[in-house]
Every structure is written in C-alpha cells, then in structure tokens.
Amino acid sequence: MNASLGVRRALTLLAAAIRLTRQAAPAGTPFYVLMCVFSGLAPIVTAWCTKVLLDGLAVGGAWLTLLPWAVALAVAGLVTGLLPVVSEYLKQRLDRAVARLTMDRLYVAMDRLTGLARMEDPAFRDKLRLAQQTGRSGPGQLVDDGLGTVQAAVTVGGFLGTVLVINASMALIVLVAAVPALIAHLRLSRARAQMLWSIAPAERREVFYADLLASLDAAKELRLLGLGGLFRRRMLVELTAAHTAMEGQDRRDARVQGVLAGLTALVSAGGLVWSVWLAAQGSLSIGDVAMFIAAVGGVQSALQGLVVRLASAHHSMLLFDHYLEISSQEPDLPIPVSPQAVPPLRSGIELRDVWFRYAEDQPWVLRGVNLTIPHGRSLALVGLNGAGKSTIIKLLCRFYDPDRGTIRWDGVDLRHVPVDELRARIGAVFQDYMCYDLSAAENIGVGDVSCMDDRERVVAAAHRAGAHDIVAALPKGYDTLLSRMFFDEADRDDPETGVLLSGGQWQRLALARAFLRDRRDLMILDEPSSGLDAEAEYEVHSSLRRHRDGATSVLISHRLGAIRDANVIAVLADGKVAEIGTHDELMAASGEYARLFRLQASGYEEVVLP
Ligand SMILES: Nc1ncnc2c1ncn2[C@@H]1O[C@H](COP(=O)(O)OP(=O)(O)OP(=O)(O)O)[C@@H](O)[C@H]1O
C-alpha cells in the first residue's frame, strides 16, 4: 500500500463514487450538484452587482435604474446566506443514503467469502479495516470533494472571466497572486498525505495498545502481571513518533505558508495600488476597483478551498480504493461450474490422501490423511496439541480446500457441491465457540435461524446441553440479555441487563446451539466439554451418547475417557493417521493411544500415602 494514485485510477475511483452516490440517492444527487454550482457562482454575481451599483452611483445614475441592481444584490446576499444551509442538509441526506448502500455492499461482499484463508491474511485484514472505515462516509466525502473542487473552479473561472472583460492585466495580477500559492499548497498537501501514510503503522500500534489497556478481556492479566505500565509506555512511544512526524510537517507548512502569504499580500497590494492609480487616471471605474478587490480575495479563498478539497479527495480516494477492492472481490473458494446437490448422507464421508498447509510458506499440517467417517457412526480424533485435529474439521466444513487429495461426501468431492448446501447439513461446536451479546434464547436460536423463534425447540436443545436450569435461573429466563454492552438507554437503566455467564455455562449454551441442528447429517464436536465441571461433563457425554446412536459424528476431546466408546478412534501424528480402531483394539495394540489413555488414567488412580 502507498500514498499515491495515478490519474487514471483517481478518475476511475471518482466515477465509481459518483455512480454509487447516484444509485443511493437518484433524486437528491442532481439537486445537490446544482446547489454546488450555484454556491460557486454566488460570489461572482454579488461582486458584479456591487461593481455595477458602484459605477452607477459614481456617475450619478438615477434611483430607478439602480434599483434592480440593488434588489439583485440583496437577492444574491440572501441566496448566499441560504445556500450553505440547504447544501448542508442535502449533503447529510446524501451521505446517509450512500452509507446505507456502501455498508450493505461491503457486507454482501464479505458474505461471498465462504472460506477462512483470506480472512486470516493480515494484508486483507488491513484493507478490510480501511474499507470499513471508509464505507460509511468515504464515497459521499469523495463526491463532496469532487463537487467542492468544481465549485471552487467555477468561482475561480467566473472571477477571472469577469475581470478579463474589464482588464486583461488585472486578470494576470489576480492569477499571479494566487497560482504560486496553489502550487505550493498542493505540494504541501501531498507531503502531508505521504507523512500521514507513513505514520499509519505507528498509529495502528498505538490504537492496539490503547485498546488493550481498556480491554475487559485483557484486564485480569494486565492487572495480575502489572502490564499496564509496559503497554502505556509502548503506546506513548508510538504516539510520540506519530506526533513528531506531524509536528515536522506542521513546521514545514507554517514556513511555506508564511512566505506565500507575504508574497501574495505583496502582489495583491501592488495590484490594488496599481488599480487605484488607473482609476485616478480615469482608465478604471470605482466598480472595476471593487471588482478587482473582490476577485483577488474570491480567487484566493476559492483556490485555498480547492487545495483543501483536493487533499481531502486524495485521502478519500486512497481509502475508497480499499473499499472498492473489498466490495468487488471474488469468492475465495472456487465455485463449482456445474454444482452437484448434497444428498442426505447415506454411506459416509471419506478423506482420501488429504494434504494441507495453511499457506505455501508454512509447514504441512496434514500429509496424506486417509480416513472414513461411516454414516451413522461416530469417529473420535485424538492427537497431541497441533496434530491437526481441528484442521480436519475445518476441511470437513470446507473452510479451506485440501492442497492435494479429496474429501468425498457419499463419493461426491466437496469442491463440487455448493458450500452453503454442505454447511446446511452440518452441526458443530468449535473449540473457540462464540459468546454472542444477545439474549440466552438467541444465543441458542442462532444455531438454526429457521427455528430461532421456536421456543419449544430452543428449550429442548438447552435441556439436552444441560443449560436449561442455568438459563431458567437468569433474571428474565431465556430473554435475559447476555451482554457486556448496553444496546440502548433502557438496557443501561435495567439492573437485569448485562448478565455474565461463566466459561462452562457459555459452553453449555454453545452445545445447545449445536443441538438445535441435531437433525443434520453430520455433527462435529471439537472439545465440547473442555470447560465443564465433572458432573456436567458426565451429563453432556451421556446425552451425546444417547443422541449419537444412528447419527454421524466427529468428536475431538483430550479427555480420552469421553471418547472411549466412539465407534472408531483415529490417532493423528505427523500429519497422518497413525492408529485407528476401537478403544479395545487400540488398547490391545499398546500404541500411542494406549500410552496416552494410561497416562491420563494414572492421574485418577488413588494415591496411596506412605
Ligand atoms: N489458521 C491457521 N493458520 C496457520 N496455521 C494454523 C492455523 N490453524 C492451525 N494452524 C497450525 O496447524 C497446526 C495444527 O493445528 P490444529 O488446530 O489443527 O491442531 P489440533 O490438533 O486441533 O491442536 P489442539 O489439540 O491444540 O487443539 C498447528 O501447528 C497450528 O499452528
């Protein structure tokens, strides 16, 4: 990423922003454009009316001949006063309409990402953050800057044209007083953009440390380990680095602007003396001098506005570029050209020589895994930390495609089926399950949005996960908001809002969420009971056993007692299936499984004290 854009890209971005704005507000956009053009013309009309009026007065013109110009001047003043109010109102409406459309498009595009690889790519995440930042106001701001530029150009062109009609040399002085300043301002604004871009990483780190210091999740460790001072100092180092760069730029700006302001004032003053001298000679009228004064001021302030607008447009374009890239991205997983339906599982799921690594520069996690999950049976995956158990589960859900080999659902390669149809057939509890800031009922209901409001099913799922008693005891039962954040003022005033659950209680809700999908063909449970107390674990596993009969399931647990009665147990090591069989077969084989099982069991054996 850098801070420069080619002219072509800039025009493409501007065109895209205009298209978006017109789509968001088809009626409001032309009206707003018109307002901007009027705003650009208003100072010229005012100056011209003033000139004619002064000239008329100077030659002793009749009251009735001057009256229309006086009225025109009054109307121009009125319009000049009203235009900013109307324009601002229209701009706000336009910005809101654009924000709704752009945010919708951004998240529709995010929905097209069915895999995880792109979401995990740090460069993509950076762009996404910028796209989110710009989504709300970026395109509107860009169009506004574009129109502001047009408005300033209309004012400059109008004044120059008018002054040219009066006196060509006068037009030249107006230009000489303003153009060098314009060029210098443009350079300064480009240097500022570069500087802002260069300090962006420091600012990101500063925000990271600031968020960390205020984070509730991190609060325990920060306090216990006394990390507040360390992270505060790091935050200040980043902030100071950013501020030093800003101050350097501010000094450069002040120096150049000071010199320019002096030069411009000198040229303008010289021009003024010259025009007064010409007026004294009778070559210029009083109105002409007034017009000249208005033109010098008007052109200078319009050009300054132009610079501000261009700088802002440049910044908006850089951000909007990321927005466009993200919102027009292609799906990350290949979409099957002639998709096959995902039939209800009949025979089973087969992993055939599956090789996988998370990125080309990372080591292989799976190196030729062959495994079958027969229909109606349960498969348990066992292995040391990092053996690749969760990775297999992610491949089964098609969050990634294998680099080599295939995964087949009743013989059909997962790559050839629509991913949403596949996922509709799967229920899962992941190791890193979600705790939603929603009500208890919704926390379970999101497991199957089609029956989110079916309280009977939600309660039944909670019963199965051993979560019912916990939820029923909450202040508002299933309708209790399980949240650390207040969604509105009513929540803030309600003492029953913000109920927090323990880790194990949350895990039961996550389980209930999965049980809501228990009519699906494949149930995946990755460490479903890691946070549960012994009693709850026993209950959950009994419940799982009862409901597992006849269902196809994959279970991961480091507590080997919990998986001992799975139909098949596969031990992963070195990216392969090292052992496979029933508990009894594996114990008889006295391999890795037997070693791990005995190791765990020894921890529960009674210790005989001497
Ligand atoms: N998103 C990821 N990006 C890069 N590497 C990853 C990612 N997820 C996992 N890995 C790596 O893949 C390997 C296997 O991880 P995986 O989570 O599948 O192991 P696991 O057997 O489930 O471990 P655990 O028992 O600790 O849960 C690990 O070395 C891990 O560092």
Residue 525 CA, ligand 1 centroid: distance in Å: 16
For tokens 């495609």, the residue is: 401
Mutate to test the pocket of ligand 1, among 391, 429, 563 (most ligand atoms within 8 A of CB): 391
Tokens matching residue 386: 């990092």
At 494 the pLDDT is 64
CB-CB contact of 340 with 417 (8 Å): yes
CB-CB contact of 377 with 568 (8 Å): yes
CB of 365 closer than 6 angstroms to any ligand 1 atom: yes
Question: Which residue's CA is the closest to the ligand 1 atom numbered 24?
Answer: 385
Q: What is the pLDDT of residues 490-525, one digit of tens each?
A: 666 666 666 788 888 898 999 999 989 877 899 998
- Domains plus CATH for the chain? 7-327 (1.20.1560.10), 342-425+521-603 (3.40.50.300), 433-519 (3.40.50.300)
Tokens matching residue 92: 């706000």
Please state the separation of Cα 294 from the chain's center in Å. Answer: 46
Question: Which residue's CA is the closest to the ligand 1 atom numbered 29?
Answer: 386
Residue 387 CA, ligand 1 centroid: distance in Å: 7
CB-CB contact of 101 with 20 (8 Å): yes
CB-CB contact of 185 with 304 (8 Å): yes
Coil, strand or helix: which one is 373?
Answer: strand
Asked if ipTM goes beyond 0.90, one says: yes
Q: What is the pLDDT of residues 544-571, one digit of tens each?
A: 777 666 789 999 988 888 888 889 999 9
CB-CB contact of 20 with 141 (8 Å): no
Higher-pLDDT residue of 378 and 58 is 378
Q: What is the pLDDT of residues 217-237, one digit of tens each?
A: 899 899 999 999 999 999 999
- Judged by phi (left if over 0) then psi (alpha if -120 to 50, else beta), residue 418 lies in beta
* Dihedral in degrees, nearest 10, Cα atoms 56, 57, 63, 65: 10
Where does 25-166 have alpha helices with state H?
A: 28-58, 63-111, 117-120, 122-135, 138-166
Residue 219 CA, ligand 1 centroid: distance in Å: 27
Tokens matching residue 485: 């954040």
Alpha-carbon separation of residue 593 from 558, 560, 570 (angstroms) = 11, 9, 9
Atom number of ligand 1 nearest to Cα 392:
18
Neighbours of 261 (CB within 10 A): 12
318: confidence class by pLDDT, cuts 50, 70, 90:
confident
Coil, strand or helix: which one is 369?
Answer: strand
Q: Tell me which of 71-85, 125-139, 585-599 is least confident.
A: 125-139
The residues pairing with 412 across neighbouring beta strands, listed in sequence order, are 409
Higher-pLDDT residue of 231 and 527 is 231
154: confidence class by pLDDT, cuts 50, 70, 90:
confident
401: confidence class by pLDDT, cuts 50, 70, 90:
very high
> Residue 66, exposed/middle/buried by CB under 10 A (0-12, 13-18, 19+)?
middle
CB of 358 closer than 6 angstroms to any ligand 1 atom: yes
Mean pLDDT, range 428-455, rounded to an integer? 91
Three-point CA angle 131, 137, 141, nearest 5° = 115
2: confidence class by pLDDT, cuts 50, 70, 90:
low
At 320 the pLDDT is 86
Question: Which residue's CA is the closest to the ligand 1 atom numbered 4?
Answer: 358
CB of 115 closer than 6 angstroms to any ligand 1 atom: no
User: Can you say whether the dihedral through the CA atoms of 402, 406, 409, 415 is positive or negative?
Assistant: positive
* pLDDT exceeds 50 at position 1: no
Q: What is the pLDDT of residues 163-207, one digit of tens each?
A: 777 777 777 877 777 777 778 877 887 788 788 878 888 988 999
For residue 540, the one-letter residue type is V
Mutate to test the pocket of ligand 1, among 118, 124, 358 (most ligand atoms within 8 A of CB): 358
> Residue 151, exposed/middle/buried by CB under 10 A (0-12, 13-18, 19+)?
buried
For residue 14, the one-letter residue type is L
Mutate to test the pocket of ligand 1, among 118, 389, 394 (most ligand atoms within 8 A of CB): 389
Integer-rounded Cα radius of gyration of the chain: 35
For tokens 């420091």, the residue is: 202
Q: Which residues of 426-437 are buried (b: 16+ CB within 10 A; e: fewer)?
A: bbbbbeebebbe
Please tell me what DSSP assigns to residue 494: -
CB-CB contact of 260 with 181 (8 Å): yes
- Judged by phi (left if over 0) then psi (alpha if -120 to 50, else beta), residue 312 lies in alpha
Residues 6 or more apart from 485 whose CB is under 8 A from it?
437, 498
Report d(CA 150, CA 230) in Å as an integer: 50
Neighbours of 393 (CB within 10 A): 20
**Rounded to two decimals, what is the model's pTM?**
0.78
Residue 123 CA, ligand 1 centroid: distance in Å: 21
Residue 349 CA, ligand 1 centroid: distance in Å: 22
Q: What is the pLDDT of residues 259-283, one digit of tens each?
A: 887 887 887 788 788 888 888 888 8
Report d(CA 196, CA 188) in Å as an integer: 12
CB-CB contact of 185 with 263 (8 Å): no
Question: Which residue's CA is the closest to the ligand 1 atom numbered 2?
Answer: 358
Residue 364 CA, ligand 1 centroid: distance in Å: 11
Alpha-carbon separation of residue 52 from 163, 235, 489 (angstroms) = 13, 61, 59
Tokens matching residue 199: 């300090």
CB-CB contact of 286 with 69 (8 Å): no
Report d(CA 454, CA 460) in Å as an integer: 10
Percent of all residues in the chain with a pLDDT value above 70, rounded to a whole number? 95
Question: Which residue's CA is the closest to the ligand 1 atom numbered 26?
Answer: 385
Atom number of ligand 1 nearest to Cα 431:
27
Q: What is the pLDDT of residues 362-382, one digit of tens each?
A: 999 999 999 999 999 999 999
Phi and psi torsions of 370, nearest 5°: -120, 125
* pLDDT exceeds 90 at position 153: no
CB of 391 closer than 6 angstroms to any ligand 1 atom: yes
pLDDT mean across residues, the chain = 86
